[in-house]
Amino acid sequence: MNLYSTSSKAARIASLISRAPHIRWCTRGLHQRRALLYKLEDGLGEFLPPPALKTVAVDWQQGLLDRLNEEVKDTEDEGLTLAQTVINTAAREDRTLAFNYASLALNNGFFLDHLRPPPPAPARDHSDQISAFLADNIRNYHGSLAQLKSEFSAAVLGMFTSGWVWFVTDKGGNTGVLPTYGPGTLLIRSRTYMAHARGPSLGDVIAKAEAEGSSVEHEFHYESGEKLNLSRPSSSSPARSPTAQPSPPGVSPSSPASGVPGTNNNPSGSNPLHPRFYSTFGLGTAPSIFDQGGIEQPMSKVETLNVGEVLYPLFCISVHEHAWMAAGYGVWDKEEWLKKFWSVVDWEKISQAYDAVAKR
């Protein structure tokens, strides 16, 4: 072996490397868009045809993540997951943009993860995949699936700004429909990601957020499947409500996490992230001169949610003009677009989440 030749070659390679531009191969610290659970080119029926799905799932989601990456660059929030970023920035007025971008991206990912392409004809939707347990609950608490759709649609159509409408449950199996506005989210509470998640379908590594034996609260990295390391406050010290963040014009959320208007609908003064705070807001009717004072009225669907229980989102819808306009609907055609939503709701995944969360 010619040692001189070998060492000379190594020296030339080292010289070339030293003169080459530095390439940062590691992208661990960057938020990256995950692949959809279905084919982008196939779209989601008339709800989100391929161009519209690209707008919502690629253009908008990537734009949120790009702006978030710029916002957290060279800060202590760089390298955190979306969920961790939402948690860390929720109570900090100087991190409003980071919170907004992270929360919107988290919500949008959850929205898209609970959709699937419409079934082949003659089936019109995936309602045949609703579990018997969830079907019984829908009948007991909403009357019928048609009535649940009507209640959910009313909440969507009644939203005159951008936001999200959620179908939620508590551990008692009670369900309700709740809106959040702007970047508000129901996915984070008490430093925990609240949605039920299943590794095989999402392609994410999942870790239990509760003590051994819990099967309902999971934390996972939306971008790369990394396990989150989120601390939870002790049960002896209640979670502190985040301070208010700036919100879209005409909206005054009580907290950046909830996005529920700041009007005092909670005379008890409890934590605004508490389920009772939502009970008079989500589906309850507004006061009117025709209210029958002194006569006990039936409770709304949301008021049946167990007080003191945390809420678990089962699915949500993005209420943003870019979604229905990209799908070919006019600026005032939200209602027509909403009718197509039910053809792509993934009731199988929703049922699995409900069955895991709710007590029988």
Mean pLDDT for the chain overall: 70
CB 219 within 8 A of CB 193: yes
List Cβ neighbours of 357 (8 Å cut-off, separation of 6 or more).
Answer: 169, 171, 196, 216, 312
Confidence of residue 120 (pLDDT cuts 50, 70, 90): very high
Confidence of residue 268 (pLDDT cuts 50, 70, 90): very low
Tell me, what's the pLDDT at 196? 58
Question: Could you write out the DSSP letters of every residue in 72-137?
Answer: HTTSTTTT--HHHHHHHHTT-GGGHHHHHHHHHHHHHHHHHHTB-PPPPTT--SSGGG--HHHHHH
Scanning the structure block, which residue is given the tokens 């508590």?
A: 170
When pLDDT is averaged across residues 75-97 and rounded to a whole number, the result is: 89
Tell me, what's the pLDDT at 323? 97
Of 57-71, 190-204, 330-344, where does mean pLDDT reach its minimum? 190-204
Confidence of residue 335 (pLDDT cuts 50, 70, 90): very high
Phi, psi angle pair for 347, to nearest 5°: -65, -25
Statement: residue 96 has pLDDT above 70: yes
Confidence of residue 29 (pLDDT cuts 50, 70, 90): low
Statement: residue 262 has pLDDT above 60: no
Confidence of residue 189 (pLDDT cuts 50, 70, 90): low
pTM: 0.66
When pLDDT is averaged across residues 272-281 and rounded to a whole number, the result is: 29
